[in-house]
Amino acid sequence: MASEHRLTISTDAHGHTAGWAEAELEAALTVDVDKSAAAFFDIDNTMLQGASIYWIARGLAARRYFTTSDLARFAWQQARFRLLAAEHAGDMSQAKKVALAFIEGWRVDDIERLTEEIFDELMAPRIFAGTRSLAQLHLDSGERVWLVSAAPVEIGRVIAQRLGLTGAIGTVAEVIDGAYTGRLVGDLMHGPAKADAITQLANVEGLDLRRCTAYSDSINDLPMLSAVGTAVAVNADSGLRREAREQGWEMRDFRTGRKAARVAVPSTLAAGLLAGAVTTVLAMRRRRRGL
């Protein structure tokens, strides 16, 4: 016997079908999606308290990939680069030579697995709730949201996945047969390179940068902020605060008092952090070889 399919229609006390009311409500809540608009968020000190690569180093140290003394040396390198008043061409050139060399020979899938674990343990609790909410507003309006960082793109990709964002733009390391060679593909994703990257992405994705929004904490992200129609300074450093006032840009600060002073590490010095990471991990490898 063939099964019988019946359509049940609910009615209210006046005999009106409930389906009509639901359709009207759904239509009222429908958001007009602007496919030409998107948002771009810096990571370090904008989306995340501190530097993402530092937290990765902390997590690797906890897993005995290198020692506490290595981590202390890494922190010293971090402070050294933080004290630089400006980034000179020579500094960036040197950083480019050594950036990502510390993962030479590592498997990409191992780095991604470790990054996922470390994000859940150390980085997730340090995501700024306010910045995360701003990203969600863009997502809820139907816009796509990308993270843009000088950190390795694998780190940005994991953070984007964990936060439910569209994707990430970051520094790209050369990979052969699933392993890192220790060389970069192109330049560090820093300063003008960020603006170039989002411009290229806009061309591919059909975005109108005049309808896009960018968020950052650092004056060194001025090229990216200037490339879009709406710029927002988040947890801004002094240089960006001055620029934001002059340009009339919106400013948001999700830090609080002593915590803000303690965790702030300029995101634009991520290249320096990468250089510091090289020192720590290479030292670890030398010890292992000695053993």
Among 143-157, 171-185, 205-219, where is mean pLDDT lowest?
Answer: 171-185
Q: Looking at the predicted structure, is the pLDDT value of residue 136 above 50? A: yes
Say yes or no to pLDDT of 142 above 60.
Answer: yes
User: What does the block give as tokens for 25?
Assistant: 């409500």
Residue 234 has pLDDT above 90, yes or no: yes
Q: Which of 12, 34, 42, 196 is catalytic?
A: 42
Element (H, E) at 169: strand 167-171
Please state, for a pLDDT cut of 90, what percent of the chain lies above it: 47
The Cα 113–Cα 118 span in angstroms is 9
- Indicate the average pLDDT of the chain: 77
CB within 8 Å of 49: residues ≥ 6 apart: 126, 127, 128, 255, 259, 263
Instruction: Tell me, yes or no, if 110 is annotated catalytic.
Output: no
Single out the catalytic residue among 44, 70, 187, 221.
44
Q: Is 109 one of the annotated active-site residues of the chain?
A: no
> Could you tell me if 53 and 277 are in contact, meaning their C-beta atoms sit under 8 angstroms apart?
yes
- Which pLDDT band, with edges at 50, 70 and 90, does 83 fall under? very low
Least confident of 25-34, 101-110, 191-200: 25-34
The CA distances from residue 224 to 92, 149, 180, 198, 233, in Å, are 18, 11, 28, 8, 12
